[in-house]
C-alpha cells in the first residue's frame, strides 16, 4: 500500500503505512480501549430499569464512548504516525474534531484493510457477471 496524506491543524503529513507487527499492536490497543465500554453495553437489552447499578454502568459506558471518542481517535492517529505524535501539542491547539475524525478514518482503513479487499472482489464479480454490450 502506498503512502497517504493526513491534514491536521492546517498541516499536511505524508504517512507511511505501518508494517504488520506495529499495526497488529495498534489494533490490539484499539481493541483493549473498547473492551470496557462494549462490555457494559453487551447486555443492555436485559437490564431492568430498577437495577440502578446496571443502568449506571451503561450510562458510564455511553459517556465514555461519547466524551472520550476524539481523544481515542487522536491516540490512534498518533500511534500510527510518529511525526503526528511528535506534533500532538500543536495539533491539540490548532486542529478541529472533524479533522481528527477524518484522519482517524483514514488510519482505520489502513489498520483494517478488508474494505479495500471487499471493494476489489465486488469489482471483479461485477465484471464477471456483467453482460457484454
- pLDDT attached to residue 69: 83
Taking only the tens place, the pLDDT of each residue in 3-17 is 999 999 999 999 999
d(C-alpha 2, C-alpha 74), whole Å: 22
Q: What is the mean pLDDT of the chain?
A: 83
Q: List pLDDT tens digits, range 78-132.
A: 999 999 999 999 999 999 999 999 999 999 889 988 876 666 666 665 666 555 5
9 in Cβ contact with 91 (< 8 Å) = yes
Number of domains the chain is built from: 1
Q: Return contacts of 55-63, CB within 8 angstroms, 24+ apart.
A: 61/36, 61/37, 62/37
Q: What is the pLDDT of residue 67?
A: 73
Query: Environment class of residue 28 by beta-carbon count within 10 Å: exposed (0-12), middle (13-18) or buried (19+)?
Result: exposed
R_g of the chain computed on alpha carbons: 19
Give the separation between CA 6 and CA 106, rounded to whole angstroms.
8
48 touches 54 (CB < 8 A): yes
pLDDT given for residue 83 in this prediction? 97
User: Cell numbers 502506498 label which residue?
Assistant: 2
Domain with 120 in it: 4-129
Place of cell 447486555: 43
pLDDT tens sequence across 53-86: 777 776 776 776 677 789 989 999 999 999 999 9
Answer whether 24's CB lies under 8 Å from 133's CB: no
Amino acid at each position: 500500500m502506498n503512502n497517504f496524506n493526513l491534514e491536521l491543524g492546517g498541516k499536511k503529513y505524508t504517512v507511511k503505512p505501518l508494517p504488520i507487527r506495529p499495526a497488529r499492536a495498534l489494533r490490539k490497543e484499539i481493541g483493549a480501549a473498547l473492551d470496557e465500554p462494549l462490555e457494559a453495553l453487551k447486555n443492555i437489552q436485559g437490564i431492568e430499569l430498577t437495577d440502578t447499578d446496571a443502568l449506571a454502568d451503561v450510562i458510564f459506558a455511553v459517556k465514555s464512548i461519547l466524551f472520550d471518542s476524539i481523544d481515542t481517535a487522536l491516540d490512534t492517529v498518533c500511534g500510527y504516525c510518529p511525526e503526528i505524535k511528535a506534533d500532538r501539542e500543536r495539533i491539540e491547539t490548532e486542529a478541529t474534531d472533524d479533522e481528527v475524525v477524518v484522519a482517524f478514518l483514514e488510519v482505520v482503513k489502513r489498520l483494517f484493510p478488508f474494505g479495500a479487499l471487499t471493494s476489489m472482489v465486488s469489482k471483479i464479480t461485477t465484471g464477471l457477471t456483467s453482460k457484454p454490450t
